[in-house]
Amino acid sequence: MKIITDAITLNEVNEIAARGFGDMVKAVVDVERELIALDAELHADLEALLLENGSKQRGLWGINFYPAAKADEWVEFDSMINMRPSQGNRSRGVESEATRKKIMAIVGKRITR
């Protein structure tokens, strides 16, 4: 597991996928601090890593990367940690379009395609 504070390449994400799930990498994005944690079997482990490093629960969202997919299909908004009725998010997805846009902006900043 690691926290991305600078930028990494899509090739690096691909290498992480090959070592783990094969075609997918789980990640958690901190939309407030603009960080991405990745490379774990569970989103909850990445969430815990970010919380230990100063992130706040409210700003953490689980996603999946599919580095071999097309540019507009390589990020999937799906994680159990996203289920937060208290924040108006009642599904495993990220229901807020504004939050999805923030996540994609951070992904674009931290992972170069």
Check residue 113 and give its pLDDT.
81
Check residue 78 and give its pLDDT.
97
Per-residue pLDDT tens over the stretch 19-55: 999 999 999 999 999 999 999 999 999 999 999 999 9
Average pLDDT, the chain: 96
pLDDT at 96 over 90: yes
Tracing tokens 């629960």 back to the chain, one arrives at 57
Number of domains forming the structure of the chain = 1
Q: What share of the chain is helix, strand, coil (3-state, %, to 5)?
A: 40, 25, 40
Check residue 6 and give its pLDDT.
95
Q: pTM (2 decimals)?
A: 0.96
Instruction: Name the residue range of residue 24's domain.
Output: 2-112
Long-range contacts (CB closer than 8 Å, 24 or more residues apart) made by 92-98: 94/61, 94/63
d(CA 59, CA 14): 26
- ∠ CA 89-52-99, nearest 5°, is 25
Q: What is the mean pLDDT of residues 85-102?
A: 96
Any residues with CB less than 8 A from the CB of 81 and at least 6 apart, and which?
Answer: 28, 43, 44, 47, 60, 61, 62
Check residue 103 and give its pLDDT.
98
